[in-house]
A and B are shown apart, each in its own frame.
Chain A
Amino acid sequence: MKRKTREYDQLKGQWAERASPEDLDFIRSNVLKDVLRTDRTHPYYAGSEDNPHLTALHDLLTTYAVTHPQISYCQGMSDIASPILAVMDNEAHAFICFCGIMKRLEGNFQVDGEVMSLKFSHLKLLLQYSDPEFYAYLLSRGADDFFFCYRWLLLELKREFAFEDALRMLEITWSSLPPDPPEKEVELVGPPARLSESGQPLAMHFDRLVRRHNLAKVLHRAKALFADYLQSEVWDSEEGDEAAAESPAVS
């Protein structure tokens, strides 16, 4: 861990070598705008804009962007990094964890949107199975693109719960993914950049519930749904196999 921390400190000193001044400016200003709008009501990030935790979150995300030019920085990443930093309370350690979780989540942030499309199709499939009546309603209202669930999927539901509940929920979902330990140690640098390169009032209802969902109830329901799902025919089908890889196992 000490060695990795030194490695992080080195990478953090290499922003100017790894990115052009224009790119670096662009990344830094985007990251800063978002860091100032991420979990600021939580005591760890509250107060004035020179709160050192805000600087740490900014530096962590900027370092990630310049060392992972294929992914760079995208909105949403600050919401994923923020709870990690608040828990680790150490910028370098948080960076290492963030690199680890981004191996699983980086697809969410790819420009082509393919991974997100797949997640939407899984969600559709799951809802069709678990609540056909509600699914039919969404269909009748032209909301079957499920775009109103974008934030849920991109941020792994992090924003839907109060901060402390979100920590517990992320721990459950992240630890229940199929084990995929890195063969060597966690890489802190990504591959180099490629050279060329109907929402409804229902949705409004969900916006009002930001940070207000009841975690205990949701987990209980998720557990029941998952148990039910494991016994279903969908589970046996090919589509079910795909969907299962995305579905949170709650135990």
Chain B
Amino acid sequence: MAYAYLFKYIIIGDTGVGKSCLLLQFTDKRFQPVHDLTIGVEFGARMITIDGKQIKLQIWDTAGQESFRSITRSYYRGAAGALLVYDITRRDTFNHLTTWLEDARQHSNSNMVIMLIGNKSDLESRREVKKEEGEAFAREHGLIFMETSAKTASNVEEAFINTAKEIYEKIQEGVFDINNEANGIKIGPQHAASNATLTGNQGGQQAGGGCC
């Protein structure tokens, strides 16, 4: 399907916080309580609409365990957005955010939009991290913040879409160099067709991803 832009995302965070479940809820609109643990990196994609434009999100879902860090790092480069996920029922996953953030900032391009996500908001009775703490951390580090539930789908759409909106705004402001694929943004055939000055990129080669 034709799209105006393609944004690359990466999902990072400790093991078991629900990264793959968030992705599955977003791409397939379902929750799978029993699923395989992620080894290395897995992939997903979906089309969304912002400002009347079709935008394809191509999403890298990474494994949370330390031993895979060397390969997940190689995916930071070339990502326009990152979802940094912790589990509101496990304090340790919140405590590790600083390490994740340092890692992401060190290995990504400086304009990458980072969305902080406190997942498993449906498990209120087991909550260990207050929503205010997530908000404070996000404020302090210049991140967008949301609490989500991959199980009930609460805020899942919003998390992915708001990140895309922020990237889109940055494009409008001219912050992102959209002709440099290393920024995780590609101009698609739809956009190229409606804007002759932007032809000549490779977006048209993304034939039939069949993602949505």
Tell me, rounded to whole Å, the shortest Cβ–Cβ distance linking A213 to chain B. 15
Using CB atoms, name the residue of chain B closest to A111: B67
Q: Are B41 and A155 in contact (CB under 8 A)?
A: no
CA distance A145 to B78 in the complex (A): 14
Sample of 12 more A-B contacts, CB < 8 Å, known A40-B34, A210-B36: A33-B37, A40-B35, A41-B34, A74-B67, A75-B37, A147-B74, A148-B43, A199-B43, A199-B60, A203-B41, A204-B209, A207-B42
Q: Are B37 and A78 in contact (CB under 8 A)?
A: yes
Q: Are A151 and B78 in contact (CB under 8 A)?
A: no
Taking CB atoms, residues of chain B closer than 8 Å to A113 are 70
Tell me, rounded to whole Å, the shortest Cβ–Cβ distance linking A128 to chain B. 21
B204 at the interface (CB under 8 A from A): no
Tell me, rounded to whole Å, the shortest Cβ–Cβ distance linking A78 to chain B. 7
Instruction: Report A14-37 residues with CB < 8 Å from chain B CB.
Output: 30, 33-34, 37
Show the binding face of B for A, using Cβ within 8 Å: 15-16, 34-37, 39-45, 58, 60, 63, 65, 67-68, 70-71, 74-75, 78, 206, 209, 211
CA distance A148 to B39 in the complex (A): 10
A interface size (C-beta, 8 A): 31
The answer, among B35, B42, B68, B211, for a CB contact under 8 Å with A75, is B68
A75-B63, A75-B65 known; A198 vs B34 contact (CB < 8 Å)? no
Q: Are A159 and B39 in contact (CB under 8 A)?
A: yes
Q: Are B35 and A201 in contact (CB under 8 A)?
A: no
A106 at the interface (CB under 8 A from B): no
A75-B65, A76-B39, A201-B209 known; A37 vs B34 contact (CB < 8 Å)? yes
Q: Are B44 and A75 in contact (CB under 8 A)?
A: no
Q: Are A33 and B39 in contact (CB under 8 A)?
A: no
A79 at the interface (CB under 8 A from B): yes
Tell me, rounded to whole Å, the shortest Cβ–Cβ distance linking A31 to chain B. 11
A98 at the interface (CB under 8 A from B): no
A sample of 16 cross-chain residue pairs with beta-carbon separation below 8 angstroms, ordered by A number, consists of A34-B15, A40-B34, A40-B35, A74-B65, A74-B67, A75-B65, A75-B67, A147-B40, A151-B40, A154-B39, A155-B39, A198-B78, A199-B60, A201-B43, A201-B58, A204-B45
Q: Are A199 and B41 in contact (CB under 8 A)?
A: yes
